[in-house]
């Protein structure tokens, strides 16, 4: 009869637990908990920008819009998004005055819901999600273009590139963005 079978099952499990605890002292311990930051990487007017995931309700292919008379050219119109009316805005048209063109199959809609402003922002393309550590955020904002400056909230380094963080919520609080009438 071996030593393991001479013990009761409970005693055997206790001895295994003791051995596990003794060996665990040699394992590395994570002392510090790091918080992750997630963002959507998108392209706009030749710039690659990040939008915080917590400021983007969803990302979809731009739906068909009904044009509204008497609005600025960058306000594409209204779309039906699962029973809700969604104003659709051309982000490049608002910021730079020239509406998006090119391959419309790549265009995406970043849906924003902030302080009662529910709107879709059409961007050139969405390149995917990016993950960073919150501690790696640089609050010094690289301003790729002065037009973007009021909406930038920091940056992250990805490989050799510094990506500016674009805040859709700052845009949604901008009076110029809210005034769509011509």
pLDDT value for 17: 86
Please report, for the chain, the start and end positions of each structural domain, with discontinuous segments joined by +. 36-178
What confidence score (pLDDT) does residue 27 get?
63
Q: Edge to edge, what strands does the sheet with 47-52 contain?
A: 125-133, 36-44, 47-52, 161-166, 152-158
CATH 3.40.190.290 given to domain 36-178: no
- At 98 the three-state DSSP class reads coil
CA distance 178 to 145: 22
Q: How far is it, in rounded angstroms, from Cα 115 to Cα 177?
A: 14
d(CA 141, CA 146): 11
Residue pLDDT tens, the chain, 182 long: 455 557 888 888 888 888 888 877 666 666 677 899 999 999 999 999 999 999 999 999 999 999 999 999 999 999 999 999 999 999 999 999 998 887 789 999 999 999 989 999 999 999 999 999 998 888 888 777 899 999 999 999 888 889 999 999 999 999 999 999 98
- C-beta of residue 153 within 8 angstroms of C-beta of residue 167: yes
| pLDDT value of position 111 | 97
> pTM of the full predicted structure?
0.79
């Amino acid at each position: 009869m071996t030593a393991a079978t001479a013990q009761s099952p409970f005693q055997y499990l206790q001895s295994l637990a003791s051995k596990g605890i003794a060996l665990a002292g040699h394992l590395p311990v994570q002392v510090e908990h790091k918080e992750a930051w997630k963002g959507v990487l998108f392209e706009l007017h030749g710039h690659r920008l990040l939008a915080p995931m917590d400021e983007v309700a969803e990302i979809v292919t731009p739906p068909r819009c009904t044009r509204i008379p008497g609005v600025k050219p960058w306000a594409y119109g209204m779309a039906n998004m699962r029973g809700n009316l969604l104003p659709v805005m051309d982000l490049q048209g608002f910021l730079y005055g020239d509406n998006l063109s090119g391959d419309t199959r790549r265009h995406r809609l970043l849906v924003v819901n902030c302080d009662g402003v529910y709107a879709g922002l059409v961007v050139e393309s969405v390149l995917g999600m990016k993950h960073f550590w919150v501690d790696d955020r640089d609050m010094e904002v690289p301003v790729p273009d002065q037009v973007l400056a009021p909406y930038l909230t920091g940056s992250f380094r990805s490989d050799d590139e510094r990506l500016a963080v674009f805040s859709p919520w700052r845009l949604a609080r901008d009076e110029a963005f809210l005034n769509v009438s011509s």
